[in-house]
Chain A
């Protein structure tokens, strides 16, 4: 009877998670959706606390208090620009927790069978890869280790060997579930694999990696659900797994690359280019005052933010410019590339932080046809996502990648500190086009100066 009540409660939780995710289909319903999800989690925790197997509550209270305190602190203190790091940390902790729970269950099991041991091994593998992969992703995003891919000769072979070893160990554990020590070897091998998989990936590919790790954290929870024979874990885990897979897929499409290419392709290594030849004498520099003049005569302006906006913390200056222009009757919209920033939706969150209405944030397919009717485009700290070579040069590393066709506007102002190449390591012919003006400056400073100039005139 008790088991029945508990299981019914778990189904209620799982249903609330589904309703919660459904709520995220619109900004209006999203807050309520998230609360439904939290309610589902609350119910699941409460019903678990009455489980007869629990004999000691002091440990639990201690763990819950520590976890809640740290979680609350992180959630309230994090800067919106640092959201990718935080999500990486949470992904890692979720995956790690699933692996540890599976390990613990393996030791508790009285008579573990093959299914049980296989699920434990899988949970350990995926969980450890997620934990250490996320750790490396965090370190890269936080600038603790260099963002460029770190590679060495024979690394693909090393990764393949590690994967095979982890699978062989899992197979051994599945055949003889009483050899619990094998679980630790699986964890160690998978941890190294997690580090190697992520360390080889460069900064601008982070959106893919974070989405993939998100998926893994869900799959690890699902695998643990098989270990504990718990439907709540299986359902929730597979929902998150599906979510991560969808996002990973979207990110890969937005770069016109396959997942395998992102993970193993060696993109973003420093390529030597003859920038001087490409840019020599063809680049026109401009000043904030000149841009202000241009904007005064404009009726329609599109702002294209990139990772540079986040780095310079320029979103507040963007808002000031937006408000000023809107007050003067200029139509302002934002063109957002799916992989702009370091995680899916990164730019949108930064703009939402400064009160830009979400209906002003346009997706690539929606904004591209509108550039022709646009007077001024302001590109802020973006490079590869506005590179025309993606459309024109089939040999370019970004060939076929959907880009924002900003050059179709009357005038393009690119705010950038220098002519240095973006992540793809290639020059950008946009900078030399007749209708392009370069404003060499820090994004925040440049925008503030444009706003001042606009106000003075």
Chain B
């Protein structure tokens, strides 16, 4: 339970950080913000790697592998498409 409180504290505090940082993003960049933050939520790839690689059981390996493919698409595609969009905004600076 103590552990939980610790993690929950981290959760709440980073919410505040998120609110602070993201309020400053101008509306012009809201689409890249969504795709970029979405790529960040692909951090779940970390868990997928362990599930898929630890060979605990066939079931967990299948679950982990599927999650790994999903999360990798999310991460790679997300960062790349965000980059593509942001380049467009920079071009005429």
Report which A residues bind B (CB closer than 8 A).
10, 13-14, 17-18, 20-22, 24-28, 30-31, 33-35, 37-38, 40-41, 44-45, 48-49, 51, 53-57, 59-60, 62-64, 66-68, 70-72, 74-76, 78, 80, 83, 86-87, 90-91, 93-94, 96-98, 100-105, 107-108, 115, 210-211, 214, 217-218, 220-222, 224-244, 246-247, 250, 336, 338, 343-346, 348-349, 352-353, 355-358, 361, 363
Contact = CB atoms under 8 A, between A and B. Distances in A.
Contacts of B39: 37-38, 41, 90
Interface in B8-51: 10-12, 14-15, 17-19, 21-51
B74 A90 contact: yes
Most B C-beta atoms less than 10 A away, residue of A14, A229, A352: A352
B49 A97 contact: no
A217 B73 contact: no
B22 A21 contact: yes
A393 to B, nearest CB: 27
Given A63-B65, A238-B18, A349-B31, A20 B36 contact: yes
B5 to A, nearest CB: 10
Contacts of B42: 41, 90, 93-94, 97, 221
A87 B35 contact: yes
Given A60-B49, A104-B59, 10 more contacts: A34-B83, A45-B49, A63-B68, A74-B77, A94-B71, A239-B14, A240-B38, A345-B30, A345-B31, A352-B28
B84 A243 contact: no
Contacts, number: 379
Nearest to A30: B86
A41 B49 CA distance: 13
A96 B91 CA distance: 35
A55 B19 CA distance: 39
A34 B56 CA distance: 35
A361 B26 CA distance: 11
B37 A225 contact: no
Nearest to A17: B40
Contacts of A51: 49-50, 53
Contact of B36 (A34, A56, A66): A34
Contact of B50 (A54, A344, A348): A54
Nearest to B47: A101
A90 B7 contact: no
Nearest to B43: A236
Interface of B: 1, 3-4, 7, 10-12, 14-15, 17-19, 21-57, 59-61, 63-93
A217 B39 CA distance: 10
Contacts of A232: 43, 46
17 contacts: A24-B32, A27-B90, A34-B83, A53-B53, A70-B77, A72-B76, A75-B81, A86-B77, A93-B42, A93-B70, A94-B41, A94-B74, A108-B54, A231-B10, A232-B43, A242-B19, A348-B29
Given A107-B56, A107-B59, A67 B41 contact: no
Given A74-B77, A91-B38, A349 B32 contact: yes
Top 8 A-B residue pairs of the complex, sorted by shortest distance between their CB atoms: A67-B72, A242-B18, A71-B77, A345-B30, A71-B76, A54-B53, A75-B80, A63-B68
Contacts of B70: 67, 93-94, 96-97, 100
Contacts of A345: 27-34
B19 to A, nearest CB: 5
Contacts of B69: 63, 66-67, 70
Contact of A221 (B24, B43, B85, B90): B43
A389 B61 CA distance: 57
Contact of A34 (B27, B74, B79): B79
A245 to B, nearest CB: 8
B34 A229 contact: no
Nearest to A336: B27
A218 B37 CA distance: 8
B41 A221 contact: yes
A353 B76 CA distance: 21
Contacts of A21: 18, 21-22, 25, 33, 36-37, 40
A320 B39 CA distance: 34
A201 B12 CA distance: 31
A315 to B, nearest CB: 11
B10 A234 contact: yes
A103 B18 CA distance: 27
A31 B46 contact: no
Contacts of A103: 63
Contacts of B15: 238-239, 241-242
Contacts of A60: 49, 52-53, 68
